[in-house]
A and B are shown apart, each in its own frame.
Chain A
């Protein structure tokens, strides 16, 4: 099965810094989702994007659906310790009937 290229794989940042991560694919997606997974828990949906070029915010998080429909970006502003976790992108290819393709994850660690 296809997987998305997600980068970076891991990040160590200081509290208060901004964070950026992205996902790219060779296929066109018609939906992009961003999830966060806390240690020992299942992923929780953060942001959903449905249109090319769409920019959506959820508190300090902002995500964008790339114009080419082959990529998506997630930004976290002014990071705090509870932002620690693994962030996954997920995309839906047209015609695949609700089957999401997931990125390999970005592990974020925030130091004080």
Chain B
């Protein structure tokens, strides 16, 4: 069964802290994505990666960075957390091929920045 896991379901951090959100997939997918989800705004793409050590900016990359050292793991980094980064963060993965558009999501991390 397809599985995407995220390191934390809930996280509370203080303004200015460095925050790491981890995502792991066990499907050998090449593509991995980080989104944030806010009420009324749907899912907005932060960063994505097509391969190890490769990253591309999404629609809202400001204030975030990512790391993909291994195929199965994609990390989202908030260098200096701010209150406007309080949100639900969703990781997803997909594989090039016939159904390469079908992204599988993790359960999400609800981050609160105080």
Contact = CB atoms under 8 A, between A and B. Distances in A.
B107 A42 contact: yes
A42 B45 contact: no
Contact of B105 (A1, A42, A105): A42
Interface in B74-114: 90, 92, 94, 96, 99-108
Contacts, number: 66
Interface in A1-29: 1, 3-4, 6, 9
Contacts of B60: 1
A56 B70 CA distance: 36
A48 to B, nearest CB: 6
Interface string A80-104: 0000000010101000011110111
A102 B45 CA distance: 9
Contacts of B101: 31, 33, 48, 92, 98, 100
Main secondary structure of the interface of B (DSSP, over half): loop
B43 interface: yes
B20 to A, nearest CB: 19
Interface residues of A, number: 26
A78 interface: no
A59 interface: no
Contact of A105 (B35, B42, B90, B100): B42
Given A3-B42, A98-B94, 14 more contacts: A1-B59, A41-B107, A41-B108, A42-B90, A43-B90, A45-B104, A88-B42, A90-B103, A98-B50, A98-B101, A100-B101, A100-B103, A104-B40, A104-B42
Interface of B: 4, 9, 31, 35, 40-45, 48, 50, 58-60, 90, 92, 94, 96, 99-108
